[in-house]
Amino acid sequence: QVQLVESGGGLVQPGGSLRLSCAASTRSISFDVMGWHRQAPGKQRELVAFITTGGVTNYGDFVKGRFSISRDNAANTVYLQMNSLKPEDTAVYYCNAAREANIYWGQGTQVTVSS
């Protein structure tokens, strides 16, 4: 059973930065895609960013150059650097990883942007 463990969430002031990490419990699987989604209270889960094994990235429209996703393929770890955070970025951030038809999700980490 693959587990994804997120870390790095917390409380940050508007304009601040956070770096989220997500590590898979196994290195025996090479995930085609790793990424992040988020879900704010009362809203649907939405894509934040994803990155392929080859380094191709895609971001949600709201990111607008503020976030950067990266991954360490050997360590099966994906990172999300978030800068210029806004109160509307407050949400639970979920890591996910996909291999062929299998998609795995982490438990989520809370990000709160507030003064």
Which pLDDT value is given to residue 64?
87
Contact assessment for residue 49 and residue 61, using Cβ atoms and an 8 Å cutoff: no
Contact assessment for residue 17 and residue 70, using Cβ atoms and an 8 Å cutoff: no
Q: With a cut of 90, say whether residue 27 has pLDDT above it.
A: no
What's the whole-number mean pLDDT along residues 10-33?
95
Which pLDDT value is given to residue 34?
97
Q: Is 5 exposed, middle or buried (0-12, 13-18, 19+ CB in 10 A)?
A: middle
Which pLDDT value is given to residue 75?
92
Cα distance between residue 45 and residue 91, in whole Å: 9
Contact assessment for residue 48 and residue 80, using Cβ atoms and an 8 Å cutoff: yes
Q: With a cut of 90, say whether residue 3 has pLDDT above it.
A: yes
**Tens-digit pLDDT profile for residues 42-80:** 999 999 999 999 999 999 999 989 999 999 999 999 999
Q: With a cut of 90, say whether residue 1 has pLDDT above it.
A: no
